[in-house]
Amino acid sequence: MKYDFVLFENTRLVDNHYKDLENLAILLYKSGYNVAIADVFKENDFCKDERIPHITLNVKCPEGLRDAYRERNRLKEEWRQFRLARYLSSVVKEILDYTDNVYIGTLFSTLSVVECIKHFNKGKNCIIWGLRSSALKSKGGIKLTNIYSRIIKKRALQNDYIKFVVSNELILQEFVQLGISENRIVCRPERTITELPEVKGVNERKGSLCLLSIGAIRTKKKVEHCLEALKILKDPSIRYIIAGKSNSEEKEKSIEKSMIGLQNVERRNYRLEDKEYQNLIEQCDFMVLCDDNFKESISSGTMNEAVLNNKPVIASNCPTFNYFVGKYHLGLLYKWNDIHSLADAIKEAKDKGSNSFIKSIRDYQSLFLEENVVRCFKEDMSKMIR
């Protein structure tokens, strides 16, 4: 059977990328396209919407490649990456029998992406999620990721059948600045809503504050800064929840060290089920976004999940948050890597309360209404693939 689009995720690194994959498939489906998801790694585990069929491929994932981890031995890791790239190369070749438009998932500077894109030509479109523009910014030198970055960028600039989906207009403009024409990029939010969410559980607790940092705790998510800021404030009425699995033992040890001396901090070091994830967002007053100061814009999925639940954010002034939080008044900004600035923002959040941001949050939510998103996405996608 032929499909308009077949989607899969090449990375395996972050489970929520599969949710993003499914959301894109649903958006394509609602735009009138015949869509399928190929079971390459964990798609069948995380993408369960009954409207989207799955394709079982003849090529099978080699033993030991389904889960993401790194070999400590460099040669073993390079051999593993070579096997992974060879497998994905075979995957793309088979998928091209089903469709002329293949979404291969997240753009990283990897041999796998290099191997995937080589199979496309005029009339066969390769669509990639441009999570951030840094994957096309080589730093020079002979490091493998830099070599792969140069290869991917060169092919992307030379071949208009390599196209991109991005999460916001800031990332789109960064790709344009790198030389990718705007008519090869579709911008779509990672989440949509069918109606404006009910305003409930808005903070009326005078004199107290509940903060939340949620999701995978990457090395660059500096929740330790928030813990240190709380030590400065010495305010027992402020509660802080850190929920999500750390990406390394070293990261978790760093968090545990920063928690010493704090009473009202709760740590949940595991991958959250959807219901628990949602409940924690509903219970908090502000979500704290402690991401590192990326020089390029980043996907703003966690921020959007906060505001789509009527929760303002406290965010570092990295480019994405500085733009969206500042433009739409979605919460408070602090100077990145400045713990005293973060402490001031937390104090201001307690003084103002989350109620003071509800009106501007409601205005921002209208950008995610499904009817508006589908209409724009359908028009932009039809122009991109024709």
Whether residue 108 sits in one domain with residue 54: yes
Does the residue 178 lie in any domain?
A: yes
Does the residue 42 lie in any domain?
A: yes
Q: What is the pLDDT of residue 299?
A: 63
Whether residue 72 sits in one domain with residue 50: yes
- pLDDT tens digit string along 140-168? 667 888 889 999 999 999 999 999 999 88
pLDDT at 84 > cutoff 60: yes
Share of the chain above pLDDT 90, in %: 67
Does the residue 246 lie in any domain?
A: yes
Mean of the per-residue pLDDT values for the chain? 90
Whether residue 381 sits in one domain with residue 275: no
pLDDT at 205 > cutoff 60: no
Does the residue 200 lie in any domain?
A: no
What is the amino acid identity at position 198?
Answer: E
Whether residue 362 sits in one domain with residue 236: yes
Whether residue 374 sits in one domain with residue 349: no
How many structural domains comprise the chain?
Answer: 2
Name every residue whose Cβ is closer than 8 Å to that of residue 163 and which is 6 or more positions away in sequence: 125, 126, 127, 128, 184, 185, 186, 384, 385
Whether residue 149 sits in one domain with residue 251: no
Does the residue 285 lie in any domain?
A: yes
Whether residue 181 sits in one domain with residue 240: no
Query: Per-residue pLDDT averaged across 249-269, rounded?
Result: 95
Whether residue 376 sits in one domain with residue 329: no
pLDDT at 293 > cutoff 80: no
73 SS3 class: coil
Q: What is the pLDDT of residue 1?
A: 82
Range of the domain at 281: 209-366
Query: Per-residue pLDDT averaged across 55-83, rounded?
Result: 85
Check which CATH number belongs to the domain holding 245 and give it: 3.40.50.2000
In terms of C-beta density within 10 A (0-12 exposed, 13-18 middle, 19 or more buried), how is residue 294 classed? middle
- pLDDT tens digit string along 31-62? 999 999 999 998 988 899 999 999 999 999 98
* Closest among 325, 97, 308 to 191, alpha carbons compared: 308
Query: Per-residue pLDDT averaged across 224-233, rounded?
Result: 96
Whether residue 96 sits in one domain with residue 107: yes
Does the residue 288 lie in any domain?
A: yes
Query: Per-residue pLDDT averaged across 219-241, rounded?
Result: 94
DSSP string, 231-257: HHH--TTEEEEEES-BSSHHHHHHHHH
Q: What is the pLDDT of residue 298?
A: 63
pLDDT at 200 > cutoff 70: no
Weakest-pLDDT range from 12-16, 57-61, 357-361: 12-16
Confidence category of residue 247, pLDDT binned at 50, 70, 90? confident
Name every residue whose Cβ is closer than 8 Å to that of residue 348 and which is 6 or more positions away in sequence: 332
> 87-90, long-range: CB within 8 Å, 24+ apart, which pairs?
87/59, 87/61, 87/62, 88/10, 88/40, 88/112, 88/115, 88/116, 89/115, 89/116, 89/118, 89/119, 90/59
Q: What is the pLDDT of residue 95?
A: 98
Paired tokens of 111: 């041999």
| Greatest pairwise CA separation for the chain in angstroms | 63
Q: What is the pTM of this model?
A: 0.80
Does the residue 141 lie in any domain?
A: yes
Does the residue 84 lie in any domain?
A: yes
